[in-house]
Structure 1
Amino acid sequence: MKYIIKIFFTVVFLSLLSSCNDFLTEYPVSEVGVDNYLRNDDEVETAVLGIYSGLQDVVQEEYALLEMRSDNAGTRSGVGDWAQFETFTVLTTNSVVAAYWNACYTTIYRSNLVLANIENVADSTKRAQFEGEARFVRGYMHFNLVRLFGNVPLGDRMVAEGDVDGYVQVSEEEVYSLVESDLKFAAENLLSKSDIDLGRANKESAEMMLAQYYLQIGNYDDAKALLQGIIDGGNFSLTAEYDNIFYQELGNEIIFPISFIDDNTDNSQTFSYYFLYEQGSHNYATDNMIALYESQPGTSGEDTRYTTNIVDHRGERKGCGKFLTNSSNIRLAGNDYILLRYSDVLLLYIEALIGEGFQTSDATALDYFNTIRARAGLDPIANITKPTLATERRKEFLYENKRWFDLIRTGDLEYTITNFMNDQGLNFDKRHLLLPIPQREIDTSKGQLSQNPGY
C-alpha cells in the first residue's frame, strides 16, 4: 500500500453523509446539520480520517482555479468550462467552481463534526491531535475560500436547519481571524512529523501554513520565526533530484501530502490523466512559462525542472511530468498531491527575511536559494531580489497550485495578470480576479448570499 493512511468510512459515517446530501438539495453546501453520533476515541478518529478523504476531492480540479487562471497554464482545446478560466470569462454556473465550493464546505463540515464531538475522546493526547487536525484543515479550507471568493460563509461550527446565521457571508477580516485562530491552535497542539504518520497533519504543516498567512499580512518576524523553527527541527531535507520528489513519494522533502492510491476507485485521482499530452488539454504550460524556463538554461544546457515539467529527454513537448503513474488504469492514478514541501519553507524564509525590502545578500538566504538552484542545474547567484525570488518560485512549483496565492501574498496579482492578458491581446475585468459565488448556492441561500461584483 503506497499510502500510510487508507481512508475508508464506517457504514454509519457513509449513511450520515448520505442524509446530509439529501439535506443539501434545499440548503447551500455551507449549511450542514446533523445529530452528534461519535461516542469514543475510535469513532472520532474515523471521522478525522474522513477529513482527509474530503481533501482528496478538494484538489481534484483545483488546478483550474489556481494554475489555469495564472500565467502558468491554460488549455489546449480552449472550449467548455475549462477555457473560461484562462480567459477570465468564468460563468456563475461553472461546474468546476461549483464542485470546488462543494468540496471545501463538505470538508469544513467534516472538520466541524470532529470538533463538535471532541470531548468524547478520552485520551487527552489523542484529543489534542484530533482537534489540531480538524482545525488545521478547517483553517486551510477557509484560507483558500477567502482568497478565491472574498466574503464567504464562516464554517466555524455545526449548523442546524433554520439557522440563517450559519450560511450568511461574512467579511474577509472575519474569515482571516478564524484562519489565524485555527492554524495557531494546530501549530501548538499537533504532533511533529517524527511522531505521526506522514499524510496526517503535523506540527510543521500547521506552522508553515500559518507562516504563509503571516507573510500575507506583513508579519514577517513571526513568519520567519516559524519557518526557522521548521528548518532547525531537522525533520526535512531537499530531495537530491527534482523529479524524485514526485516519483519517489513520501520522501524527506514532503511536509504534507494529500495522498492517493493506484487503481483504487475510492482513493485514486484523475487529474494527472488530464495533464497528459496524449489524453487531455488541462493545465498545459503557457508559452510565457516555457519561455521563462528557456531564457535561463542550466549549466548542462537546461533547467532540470524544465525536463520534468515541459519536455521529455528527446526534446519533445509533453504535458505535466510531475504525476507519472504506475497504475494499470491511468484514470485511477495514485500520485500524491504535494501540498507542502521543504523547498517552499526555504524560499518562504527568504521572503520573510527580505520583508518590506527589495533584496538580500544574507549568507544563509543565499545558501538556501543556491542549493535549490543547484539541484535544478543552475549557477549560484550573489544577490536575491524579490523578482528573482518570484521567478524561482514559479519554476520550482509549476503545476503545484502555488502561483495564484503567491501573487496575492506579494501584492502582484492584478499587475501580473493584467500584463499577461494584454500580451495575449485580451482584456478582462479585474473584478474577475475573485471567482463568482456558484449560482446554485445563491439560489438556495434564502437571500443570504450575494454575488461578487462583475458577475
Structure 2
Amino acid sequence: MKKLLYLTLLLSFLGCKDFLNVEPVEQISINTQLSTKNGALVALNGAYYKTRTTLLTDSFFAYADLLGGNITFTPSTSNGTISIPPFVNQIYNFADEKSDSDLASFYSGSYEIINNLNLILENLDQIADATSGEKNQIKAECLALRAFIHFNLYKIYAQNHTFTADSNHLGIVYNTRPLKVGIDYPARETAFRSLELLTNDIESAIPLYTSGKAIPAGFEYQFLNVNAAKSLAAEIALWKNDWQKAIKWSDEVINNPGKTLTPTAELSTNWAQSEKIWDLPRTDENDNMLGSLYNFTSNSQYSKYAVSGDYTQLLETNDARKNILETKTIRSKLYTFTTKYKNISGLIYRLTELYFIRGEAYLKSGKNDLAKADINKIRARAGLQPLEILTIDDLLLEKRKEFTHENKYFWDLMRNQKNVLRNLGCISTQCNLAYPNNKFVVPIPQQSIEINNNMIQNPGY
C-alpha cells in the first residue's frame, strides 16, 4: 500500500501579516498543500517558525558559551541556591546521556525541519501559480535553510574537520530528500562528505536568490536572505579550512553597502542594529526568546545565566564592550549580565563575524597584515589600540571578547584543536577538557539508534 506523507502545516489561508506569527497546527496532504504558491509559502514559514523554536533554547543557543566558559549561574529566585539548570546539566558537565539527552529535542526538531524543507523542494516544480523567479527564491531559501540546519547538527554531533587526517571520521546524516518512516534508514556520512554536501547546498542556493525574501511579510533581515546565505557559506568554508572561499564569501558580505558596523557610541543603545544580517523575528505575542534566556529584568526576574569572571577579566579597562554589560546586586552579591538581547530577538549573523572569518582565513593563509587589519578594525570600534602581532590565539581571544553569549566560542576552540579551560565560577564536575576528546561532541539520541540499524553512535557513548 502506498504510504501517504504528511507535513505539519497551517490549513487556512493566511494574510501577509500572519506568515511570521502563526504556528502550524493542522496536518493535510502535501499533494494539496504544496500545489500552490501560498501553500509553499505557508510551509516555508512553518520551517522558519520551527527553526526559531528549535535553536533559540538553552540547550542549543547557550551551548558554546556554557562549554567555553563565558557563562556561570545566578541564584534561584525562590531560595537563593546556585545550581546548574536541569535542561543543560548534562551538557555543562560534558556528560550528555544518549538515553536522555539534553539535546534530544534539538536533534529531532532539526530533522523535522529538514524533512519539511525537502517536501517543499520536491513539490516546487508542480506549482502553477508562481513565476520562475518566485520559485527560485523559495528554492534558494529552502536549500540555504537546509544547509544551515545540517550545519548546526554537524557542530553538535561531529568532530571538527581536522580531527582525523583525512576527515574520514563520523559526520552526520545528511538528508536531501523526504524520508518515509519505516522505509528509509539513512546512514551517517563522513565528516568530509558532510562538509561537501553543506557546500553544495549553500553554493547551489546563492545564485537562485531573486529578491529579498520569499514570504510577503516582515523585513529581509528576518529571513535567510542572500547575505545570510553568503555568511553561512563563509562559515562553512572556514570549517573546511577552505581559506580562499572563506575570504571570497566574507568579501561579498563586507563590501555590500547595506550593512555597517555598529558605531562605538551606539554599542550600548543600538547594539547590532546596523549590522544584523539575519535576526529571527518575534511572534505576535512579542516574545523575545533570547531576552528570556539572558536578560536581567528585576531582582525577582532575571536570567539563570550570568557573565563569567573568566570573560569579564579579559576586557581591557577602556574596552567599550563593557557598556554592553550590566552589573546587578542579587542577594548581596554582584552578578554581571549581557544586554545584547534587550532589542534583538534571534540574532544568527551580524557583519562583525565576517571580519573575523576573513581575518582567520587571511591569517591561516599567511596574509598576516590583512588579518591584522580586519581584527584591528573591530578593536578600534571597541576603543582599543591595534595589535602589532597577531597569532591564532590572539584572534580567538579577540573573537571571544566580541561574541560572548552569541553561541560561538566552544566551536572556535574545537575547530582550532584547543583545550577547554573554565575557572571562575565553574561548578561543573569537569571544568576543563583537553583536546582531542570524545566529549567534544554529544551522543546521538538512543531512540534514533534503536529505530535505525544504519545509525552509528559517536565513540565514547
Q: Which TM-score band (shorter chain)?
A: 0.7 to 0.9
Cα 1:426–1:52 change in 2 (3 A) is: closer
2:27 corresponds to which residue?
Answer: 16
Find 2:209's aligned residue among 174, 185, 190.
Answer: 190
2-side partners of 1:48 and 1:119: how far apart?
Answer: 15
Kept in 1: contact 2:400–2:409 (CA 8 A): yes
Of 283-292 and 135-144, deviating more is 283-292
Shift in Å at residue 316 of structure 1?
A: 5.2
Percentage of identical aligned residues: 22
Gaps of 5+ in 1: 20-33, 326-334
Residue 348 of structure 1 corresponds to 357
Partner in structure 2 of residue 27 of structure 1: none
Give the partner amino acid of 1:16: Q
Alignment map for 1:201-212 (pairs within 5 Å): 201-212=224-235
1:48 aligns with 2:71: no
Matches of 1:126 and 1:249 in 2, distance apart? 33
- TM-superposition CA deviations, 1:360-389 (whole Å, max 9, x none): 234xx5444333223222223334332222
Residue in structure 1 matched with residue 240 of structure 2 by the alignment = 217
Question: Which one of the candidate residues 173, 177, 182 is aligned to 1:157?
Answer: 177
Name the amino acid aligned to 2:176. Answer: D
Q: 1:428 to 1:144 in 2, by over 3 A?
A: same
Aligned partner letter, 2:419? T
| Number of aligned residues | 407
Report the CA distance between 1:391 and its aligned residue.
1.1
Q: CA deviation at 1:219?
A: 1.4
Query: Match of 1:344, SS?
Result: helix
1:155 is matched by which residue type in structure 2?
N
Cα gap change, 1:57 to 1:283, in 2 (>3 Å) = same
Distance change >3 Å, CA 64–CA 441, structure 1 → 2: farther
1:440 to 439, 442, 447: 447
What is the TM-score with the length of structure 2 in the denominator?
0.78
Q: How does 1:239-250 map to 2 (within 5 A)?
A: 239-241=262-264, 244=267, 248=270
Change (3 A) 1:324 1:9: closer
The reply on whether 1:319 has 2:319 as its aligned counterpart is no
Partner of 2:138: 130
Q: Deviation of residue 337 (structure 1)?
A: 1.6
Structure 2 counterparts to residues 36-435 of structure 1, below 5 A: 37-61=33-57, 62-76=60-74, 77-79=82-84, 80-94=86-100, 96-121=102-127, 122-150=130-158, 151-165=171-185, 167-191=186-210, 197-241=220-264, 244=267, 248=270, 251-261=273-283, 263-264=285-286, 268-276=287-295, 278=299, 279=301, 282-293=304-315, 296-298=316-318, 303-309=319-325, 311=327, 317-324=335-342, 335-357=344-366, 360-362=368-370, 365-409=371-415, 411-412=416-417, 415-417=418-420, 419-420=421-422, 426=431, 430-435=437-442
Displacement, 1:126?
Answer: 0.9
Which deviations, in whole Å up to 9, do the C-alpha atoms of 1:230-274 show, x marking residues without a partner?
2222221112147658x648833011111214734xxx2444324
Residue in structure 1 matched with residue 11 of structure 2 by the alignment: none
SS in 2 for 1:148: helix
The amino acid that maps onto 2:122 is: A
Question: Matches of 1:382 and 1:289 in 2, distance apart?
Answer: 23
Query: Does 445-454 or 194-203 show the bigger shift?
Result: 194-203
Structure richer in helix, relative to its length: 1
Scaled by the length of structure 1, the TM-score of the pair is 0.79
Question: 1:345 Cα shift?
Answer: 1.1
RMSD: 3.2
Instruction: Name stretches of at least 5 consecutive residues in structure 2 with no aligned partner.
Output: 1-15, 75-81, 159-170
Structure 2 CA distance for partners of 1:282 and 1:63, relative to 1, 3 Å: farther
Q: Residue type of the partner of 1:292?
A: L
